Amino acid sequence: MKIINVCGARPNFMKIAPIMEAMKQSSVIKPFLVHTGQHYDEKMSKSFFDALGIPKPDMDLEVGSGSHAVQTAKIMVEFEKVVQAIKPDLVLVVGDVNSTMACAIVAKKLWIPVAHVEAGLRSRDLAMPEEINRLVTDSITDYFFITDPDAKANLQQEGVPLKRIFFAGNVMIDTLLKNLPKADKQNILSRLALEPGEYAAMTLHRPSNVDDKKVLSGLVGAFETIQKRIKIVFPVHPRTRKQFDEFGLSDKIKGMTNFILTDPLNYHEMLKLNKEAKFVLTDSGGIQEETTVLGIPCITMRNNTERPITVTQGTNEVVGNNPGKIVKACEKILSGKWKRGRVPAKWDGKAGVRIVAELEKIWKKRNQDASPLA
């Protein structure tokens, strides 16, 4: 069974690693790895392949940056050539980035079945590019691998037959659990003169937060208040750093002595930073899941989440980007009043193995259905 596995951006790498590892153990599957090059920065791309032990991609499309339309179009043009050359039996896409949607469309138009890992997540916010990618991808997917029961309910509501939905668990957590020992050996805390539990970690990159001067200025004001109580460590996304300069916020930030900016960190350093934090401030989807498994309080600076299980079962609360609400949530944590949370079902490090086992069953059934009757 020839399967093309697609990855294109930093969140994809953590998701594809356990799947590729399980496929390498299969006697049925011949995997191909295609990197679209949607993230082309060294710290955002190649270092992740090295750190996570992902094999060198069979093909790198090197599409680079551009508007959503330009990037999606480039991926589709280049990926079509790959599909026509390999002639796969299945194309597997993960997550919700432009590469996910673009490659699913190409495969489907060439009559190649599509499997979507992390299917069925919904934020109900069409202003999020990722939500468009999720909806389009799932509308043409053949096999849906889900992380939790909320995703199953969403897909059933959209008319997906139950027999095409597979509750595999969370591949992001496979990668996290496997890499915890290596993360524990990182010296990021000593490098930044930090003590476990005495700082907050942060990520911030979504357009809704960083592209509006009024919103970003309000957030910086909230961080200014919070850093008077506890250090905030912020590995700055290139997009966010650019906006700090553009909106004239850099000088104010330099005056915030407990607001520590660093360059982007590799996966193991970031995992160590989050694991030892008092709490995490984020607008990322994946970090909501990681903090739930690590048992670290998480404040999500968005108005919605496509991962509600991190709120209903985990350590996450969604507070939006209102400065007052963010400060209040931090005070709640610092006063010891945050919920404890628990780890959701099948977030146990075995999702990749489950996905490959289901793909082997699908292949066997397809071959049986195609064989002539005795």
The pLDDT score that the predictor gives to residue 11 is: 80
Q: List every span in the chain annotated with CATH 3.40.50.2000.
A: 2-169+350-370, 188-334
According to DSSP, the residues that pair with 234 across neighbouring strands are: 261
Q: Please state the pTM of the whole predicted model.
A: 0.93
Partners of 59 in beta bridges: 34
- Residue 277 DSSP SS3: coil
Residue pair 122/139 in contact by the 8 Å Cβ criterion: no
pLDDT along the chain (374 residues), means of 10: 92 92 97 84 61 85 87 96 98 96 98 98 94 98 98 98 98 96 97 98 94 96 98 92 95 96 94 98 96 98 97 98 98 97 98 98 89 54
CATH architecture of the region 2-169+350-370: 3-Layer(aba) Sandwich (3.40)
Q: Would you state the pLDDT for residue 374? A: 42
As beta bridge partners, residue 33 has 5
Q: What is the length of the chain? A: 374
Angstrom distance (rounded) from CA 195 to CA 41: 30
C-alpha dihedral sign at 304, 310, 313, 317? negative
Catalytic residue among 39, 205, 237, 268: 205
The encoded tokens of residue 135 equal 């909806």
68 is catalytic: no
Superfamily of domain 188-334: Glycogen Phosphorylase B; (3.40.50.2000)
